[in-house]
């Protein structure tokens, strides 16, 4: 007969077992652009994160519950305006898919956290390896149709994106890949406890810069690595370091611009200074960012003038009205002119915060801020250099440049938070594991 302690130990070990489907999802949450059977599912971001967050032990805070309640009200009062429920449902779940997983991840047990971290490293290395293979033109062309069943716009040809842009790995396009890979890199530095100012840290950062410029070649990549480098510095040293890095950065870009095969990121950065676009940056921003910059700017303005927003799902017409309100008609933007001719269907802003302002107004954004402020304001997240980099990434992508349904910023914010602020339950689990190891 087993004693009571043995029974409790077995029950505890059983509770720590990770279900097989969660193990699969643990890899897929890092790859939101991978969609099962593209023929059936047209969404560019699949809700792997939402599926992972659906669990019995999910605990959300009261402020976040109020935020979700407001989203439900916003989408419900506008249902009569839609001929189909698909559009408002997709708009609603884009917001939930991105943010809900944060609360699932910050409370996970230590064993699951370790599994997620290992899964992340596999996804990171596979993406890097695949990107290099694509760039070198070594990916089998015969596999391209098969890959497109799961990944929109997947290609074996590095130049398919045009304009000097590079490859995208397991993402829809280079800009998505660039944004996500910088989160991968920053969390890898945190997870491996690599100090940015160490020899290994310097080598890793140099490799990331090389990867940005030569492999991905996205303007987003240059922006993200600049933000990363800035986040590593103390505020008092930021200006001095910025001047030095700026000079080195410009000399490097100018040298690369003399090459025959100029990466788009380099070409755009050099032209901004060489053509003196900084004197009147608005036309340059509209041309280079497509709809991104103006959609964010217009959405924030719209949310201030419409406290409850346009209603979830009404972003199409609201985005055009928002642009008109700031004096930038859709016809002035090359993005619309190229893809839609004279018919402008509108676009969703490219950041979570701007999307909330457009569809839920300042009220929705304030509820979101209240829900996440206790986590964003934790001092521990800024004392750790690597965690601070992820925090700065998160804030930048949520409020300036990102994708409204993309869970990547929330996932890595949660993993960084879980690394720095360990739950009491996990501390107990760590102690038990340590005791078992020593016995």
Mean pLDDT of the chain, nearest integer? 81
CA 430 to CA 141: how far, in whole Å? 47
Indicate if the pLDDT at residue 229 is higher than 60. Answer: yes
* Distances, alpha carbon 141 to alpha carbons 81, 138, 149, 317, 331, in Å: 45, 9, 14, 40, 38
* Distances, alpha carbon 300 to alpha carbons 293, 295, 305, 358, 397, in Å: 11, 9, 9, 7, 15
Indicate if the pLDDT at residue 287 is higher than 90. Answer: no
- Mean pLDDT of the region 167-189: 90
- Mean pLDDT of the region 213-230: 85
* Distances, alpha carbon 353 to alpha carbons 39, 377, 388, 402, in Å: 31, 17, 20, 10
Burial class of residue 400 (count of CB atoms within 10 Å of its CB; 0-12, 13-18, 19+)? middle
The confidence score (pLDDT) of residue 280 equals 57
Non-local (6+) Cβ contacts of 172 within 8 A are 33, 44, 151, 152, 153
47 neighbors 97 (Cβ within 8 angstroms): yes
* Distances, alpha carbon 193 to alpha carbons 119, 408, 433, in Å: 17, 21, 21
* Beta-ladder partners of 151: 34
Burial class of residue 294 (count of CB atoms within 10 Å of its CB; 0-12, 13-18, 19+)? buried
* Distances, alpha carbon 230 to alpha carbons 147, 233, 246, in Å: 37, 6, 11
The confidence score (pLDDT) of residue 151 equals 85
Q: How confident is the model at residue 247 (pLDDT cuts 50, 70, 90)?
A: low
- Mean pLDDT of the region 368-384: 96
- Mean pLDDT of the region 223-236: 82
129 neighbors 169 (Cβ within 8 angstroms): no
Other CB atoms within a 10 A radius of the CB of residue 262 amount to 16
Other CB atoms within a 10 A radius of the CB of residue 286 amount to 18
Non-local (6+) Cβ contacts of 48 within 8 A are 25, 28, 29, 31, 32, 34, 407
51 neighbors 25 (Cβ within 8 angstroms): yes
Indicate if the pLDDT at residue 388 is higher than 80. Answer: yes
- CA atoms in the 13 A half-sphere facing the CB of 301: 17
Please give the distance of CA 13 from its chain centroid, rounded to a whole number: 34
* Distances, alpha carbon 92 to alpha carbons 60, 356, 360, in Å: 18, 11, 11
CA 67 to CA 130: how far, in whole Å? 39
CA 323 to CA 298: how far, in whole Å? 5
- What predicted TM-score, i.e. pTM, was given to this entire model? 0.85
292 neighbors 350 (Cβ within 8 angstroms): yes
CA-based nearest residue to 218, from 264, 282, 257: 264
320 neighbors 346 (Cβ within 8 angstroms): yes
Burial class of residue 438 (count of CB atoms within 10 Å of its CB; 0-12, 13-18, 19+)? exposed
The confidence score (pLDDT) of residue 260 equals 58
CA 290 to CA 301: how far, in whole Å? 19
The confidence score (pLDDT) of residue 49 equals 96
Most confident of 119-133, 285-299, 331-345, 417-431: 119-133
CA 302 to CA 323: how far, in whole Å? 9
């Amino acid at each position: 007969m087993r004693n009571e302690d043995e029974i409790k130990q077995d029950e505890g070990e059983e509770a720590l077992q990770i279900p097989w489907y969660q193990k699969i999802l643990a890899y897929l949450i890092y790859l939101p652009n991978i969609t099962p059977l593209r023929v059936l599912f047209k969404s560019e971001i699949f809700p792997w994160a939402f599926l992972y967050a659906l669990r019995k032990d999910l605990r959300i805070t009261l402020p976040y519950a109020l935020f979700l309640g407001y989203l439900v009200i916003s989408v419900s009062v506008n249902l009569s305006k839609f001929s189909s429920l698909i559009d408002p449902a997709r708009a609603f779940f884009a917001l939930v898919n991105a943010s809900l997983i944060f609360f699932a991840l910050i409370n996970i047990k230590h064993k699951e956290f370790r599994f997620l971290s290992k899964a992340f490293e596999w996804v990171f290395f596979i993406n890097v390896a695949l990107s290099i293979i694509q760039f070198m033109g070594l990916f089998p062309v015969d596999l391209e149709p098969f890959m497109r069943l799961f990944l929109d716009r997947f290609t074996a040809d590095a130049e398919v994106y045009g304009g000097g842009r590079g490859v995208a790995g397991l993402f829809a396009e280079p800009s998505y890949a660039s944004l996500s890979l910088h989160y991968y890199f920053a969390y890898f530095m945190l997870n491996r406890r690599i100090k940015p100012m160490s020899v290994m840290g310097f080598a890793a950062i140099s490799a990331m810069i090389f990867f940005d410029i030569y492999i991905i070649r996205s303007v987003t990549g240059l922006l993200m690595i600049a933000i990363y480098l800035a986040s590593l510095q103390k505020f008092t040293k930021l200006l001095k370091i910025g001047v030095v890095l700026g000079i080195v950065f410009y000399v490097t870009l100018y040298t690369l611009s003399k090459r025959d095969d100029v990466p788009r990121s380099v070409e755009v950065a050099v032209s901004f200074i060489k053509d003196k676009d900084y004197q009147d940056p608005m036309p340059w921003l509209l041309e280079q960012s497509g709809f991104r910059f103006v959609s964010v700017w217009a959405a924030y303005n719209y949310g201030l003038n419409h406290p409850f927003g346009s209603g979830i799902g009404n972003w199409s017409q609201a985005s055009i009205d928002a642009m008109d309100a700031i004096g930038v008609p859709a016809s002035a933007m090359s993005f619309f002119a190229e893809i839609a001719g004279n018919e402008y269907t509108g676009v969703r802003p490219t950041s979570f915060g701007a999307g909330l302002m457009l569809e839920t107004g300042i009220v929705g954004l304030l509820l979101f801020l209240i829900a996440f402020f206790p986590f964003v304001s934790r001092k521990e997240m800024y004392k750790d250099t690597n965690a601070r980099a992820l925090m700065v990434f998160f804030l930048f992508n949520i409020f300036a440049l990102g994708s409204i349904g993309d869970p990547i910023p929330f996932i890595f914010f949660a993993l960084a938070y879980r690394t720095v602020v360990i739950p009491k339950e996990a501390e107990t689990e760590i102690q038990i594991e340590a005791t078992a190891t020593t016995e």
